[in-house]
Amino acid sequence: MGDSLTLLDTLVRGVVIGAALTTALGLMRGDASRDVKLSSLLVCLSLCAWTITQSLTLWNALGDTYGIVLAAYPLSGLFWLFVLVVFADKTISALTLLPAAGLVAAGLCVNLLLPQAARAAMWDVWIAAAGLLMLHAGYVIVRGWSGDLVAGRRRARAVLLGLASLYGVLEAVLVMGGRLHPMGRWMLFTSGQPLGGLIIAAISLGAATLFLQARGSMFSDGRRREPAGSRAEIADRGDLARLETLMAAERWRRERLTIGQLAQDLGVPEHRLRRLINSRLGYRNFADFLNARRVEAAKQRLANPTDARTTVAEIAFDLGYGSLGPFNRAFRAATGATPTEWRRRALAETVDAG
């Protein structure tokens, strides 16, 4: 690599590090939850460390610090964690930290315990695991896109975080392919090459811009108060009344109901219904809005002795769920118990009261 190209590559990687640190500091100073702040800080610091390890110039300048390698190992696992926290509203726990910890432990095992001859094959396994985490992160981003009611978060899903996941998967494929053909032109797109660095810099700058501009709306409950009597407030009030009428008519029972279908039933543009449910009712995604009705109805059915012989699956299907898994997850998230546990306690209380 020539001197001018080396300088350009170093500057590009400096941009990645600067964008990552700016994003982390911006989110740390905002109103995001503790989990969002911690996951963003961890992934941004890991990205900085990983960027350094991909640049021979930066790596040599910092003196081959092994601590940087340790911080770089869990990048894919921390990105996966960040996606779950921000886009799936999950919390940081021992279980969600396990993939990142596993990448660190595996990396240390390969470097310190395995003989040199076995390291290449095990690194391929490690890279494949990191690629699978990025692939699942992309799936989470895409899966919740249509039901996301937060405008800034939808843009981040659709554009930048999706690109980051795709590039992570591509990186894993290219690196593993490089074992077979190290001089292939596709290797120019890997993170250790200037072109790959430019791609990462573009994604990092775009992500920083989106997250810092939209952090207020992205991480709050979205509730907004219009002045009483204003045209916007009166229009919202009318739409909310009609939405409540639809919900009272149990439109939420329709299986695979989408926000587009509900907007059509209500006679309003989809973007307006998204804003209404988010800013007036405080829901961050459409699934939570539906689950609030469905779980409440499920609790009543499960506690009713006349429904004691009705299976949990039958109740779930009757309430609009296409399968038992989503119903169980939604019910447990709302009540802290499985439907079967809830039913057993509720029916026992009914017997004791009688």
CATH number at residue 310: 1.10.10.60
The burial class, CB within 10 Å (0-12 / 13-18 / 19+), for 330 is buried
Do the Cβ atoms of 286 and 277 come closer than 8 Å? yes
- Judged against a pLDDT cut of 80, whether residue 152 lies above it is answered with no
Q: Where is mean pLDDT largest: 41-50, 108-117, 188-197, 344-353?
A: 41-50
Say if CB 346 and CB 315 are below 8 A apart. no
- Do 15 and 157 have their domain in common? yes
Q: How confident is the model at residue 80 (pLDDT cuts 50, 70, 90)?
A: very high
CA-based nearest residue to 203, from 254, 145, 248, 162: 162
Amino acid at 352: D
For 60-88, give the DSSP string: HHTT--HHHHHHHTTHHHHHHHHHHHHHS
pLDDT, residue 232, reads: 61
Query: Per mean pLDDT, which of 62-66, 190-194, 204-208, 296-300 is the most reliable?
Result: 296-300
Query: What is the band of 195 on the pLDDT scale with cuts at 50, 70, 90?
Result: confident
**How much is the average pLDDT of 256-282?**
92
Question: What is the average pLDDT score of the chain?
Answer: 86
Which residues, at least 6 apart from 64, have a Cβ–Cβ distance to it below 8 Å? none
Are 331 and 213 in the same domain?
Answer: no
Query: Are the C-beta atoms of residues 233 and 120 closer than 8 Å to each other?
Result: no
Which range, of 182-196, 211-225, 244-258, 263-277, averages the lowest pLDDT? 211-225
pTM recorded for the entire structure: 0.83
* Residue 38 pLDDT greater than 90, yes or no: yes
Residues 278 and 294 occupy one common structural domain? no
> In this predicted structure, what is the pLDDT of residue 174?
85
pLDDT band at 64 (very low <50, low <70, confident <90, very high): low
Nearest by Cα to 218 from 156, 265, 172, 260: 156
Beta bridge partners of 330: none
Q: Domain check: are 265 and 322 in the same one?
A: no
Contact by Cβ (8 Å): 13, 58: yes
Asked if residue 214 has pLDDT above 80, the reply is no
CA 94 from chain centre, in angstroms, equals 17
Tell me: do 128 and 237 sit in the same domain. Answer: no
State how far the Cα of 345 lies from the Cα of 88, in Å rounded to an integer: 30
Same domain, 245 and 115: no
Does 330 have pLDDT greater than 90? yes
In the chain, the percentage of residues whose pLDDT exceeds 90 is 48
Q: Are 285 and 90 in contact (CB under 8 A)?
A: no
> Where does a domain end: 284, 299, 316?
284
Which of 147, 160, 188, 180 minimizes the C-alpha distance to 277?
A: 147
Phi/psi for 285 (5° steps) reads: -150, 160
Q: Are 210 and 23 in contact (CB under 8 A)?
A: no
pLDDT score at 111: 82
296/211 same-domain check: no
Tokens of 89: 């509203």
Helix orientation angle between 75-87 and 94-112, rounded to the nearest 10 degrees: 170
Count of structural domains within the chain: 3
Last residue of a domain, one of 255, 284, 313: 284
Residue 148, classed as helix, strand or coil, is strand
Comparing 11-15, 54-58, 105-109, which segment has the lowest mean pLDDT?
A: 54-58
pLDDT bracket for residue 71 (50, 70, 90): very high
Q: Which domain-ending residue is among 173, 198, 219? A: 219
181 and 36: one domain? yes
240 lies in the same domain as 277: yes
Give the pLDDT of residue 134.
94
* Tens digit of each residue's pLDDT (9 = 90 or more) over 81-93: 999 998 888 899 9
Q: How far apart are CA 190 and CA 199, in angstroms?
A: 9
Look up the domain containing 347 and give its range.
285-354
Quick check: 285 and 300 in contact, CB under 8 A?
Answer: no
Is residue 186 located within the same domain as residue 302?
A: no
Mind giving me the DSSP string for 104-134?
HHHHHHHHHTS-HHHHHHHHHHHHHHHHHHH
| Residue 206 and residue 346 in one domain | no
pLDDT of residue 315 exceeding 90? yes
| Residue type at position 100 | A
pLDDT given for residue 63 in this prediction = 63
Task: Phi first, then psi: give them for residue 257, nearest 5 degrees.
Answer: -65, 130
Q: For residue 349, what are the contacts with CB-CB under 8 A and spacing of at least 6?
A: none
Q: How far is CA 295 from CA 74, 252, 307, in A?
A: 37, 11, 16
Give the pLDDT confidence score for residue 76 in this predicted structure.
96
In terms of domains, do 191 and 52 share one? yes
| Residue 106 identity (one-letter amino acid) | A
Sheet strands (E) in the chain: none
